[in-house]
Amino acid sequence: MRAATIDGMHPILASRPLVFLLAFLSFACLLGQFYGLWSMHFFGCWVLPPATALLIYIAYSAGGRPRMWIVEGAVAGVVAAIAYDLYRLPYVIAGTPLFKVFPKFGELLLGADSPRWAVQALGWAYHFSNGAALGIMFLALVWRPTPRVLFWGAILWALFVEGMLLLTPYTSFFGLTLDAWFVFLTASAHLVFGAALGAWCWFRGSRIAVA
């Protein structure tokens, strides 16, 4: 990114790698908990808030492509996360505990298991934070945002992330059974996430392509 396009902001602050890294910290919060590097409570209190504030500052101050990656990516990611949850909802109603991780997220972030409203609110907020982060990371990766690249690239991105997630202690940590049924449900849900992310980016393609 040329310095002339970021209104005096240092080019590193508005660079693809930094925007990608700042968005990735939403996932790092959970990954560190898995591997005993830090607690989600600590990370959620002391790392995520300033990282999020910096993303907002970059989007507001830099404009152009950095703003597009952050704003358009966050909106696309939240839309995709809603589609992801709506796809899973019938399975949850039928008894599959796909939403059981959300209150656990909340407990880990809060550092306590009550009050329950705060646990649920924090857990769902973190879930949508991850959706927004995936959208930002995806657009920060896309060099040529043509409609075809946006749609199919988003699907590949979502499936790649799911594959990486299955290599972590995610299922054992949350007491989920890693069998063929679970793999089908989580892979198909991420396929829906990717399709929704790609479709939204395609719909917003004129803004994304010219930013």
- Tell me: the pLDDT tens digits for 98-145? 999 999 999 999 999 999 999 999 999 999 999 999 999 999 999 989
Report how many domains make up the chain. 1
Which residues are within 8 A (CB) of 76 and not within 5 positions of it... i.e. 6 or more apart?
135, 138, 139, 197, 200, 201, 204
Asked whether residue 1 carries a pLDDT value surpassing 60, the answer given is: no
- Any residues with CB less than 8 A from the CB of 74 and at least 6 apart, and which? 132, 135, 136
In this prediction, residue 4 carries a pLDDT of 38
Domain extent at residue 178 = 3-210
pLDDT digits (tens, 9 = 90+) for 152-189: 999 999 999 999 999 999 999 999 999 999 999 999 99
Tell me the whole-structure pTM to 2 decimals. 0.93
pLDDT one-digit tens code per residue, 200-209? 999 998 677 6
Q: What is the pLDDT of residue 41?
A: 98
Location of structure tokens 């910096």: 54
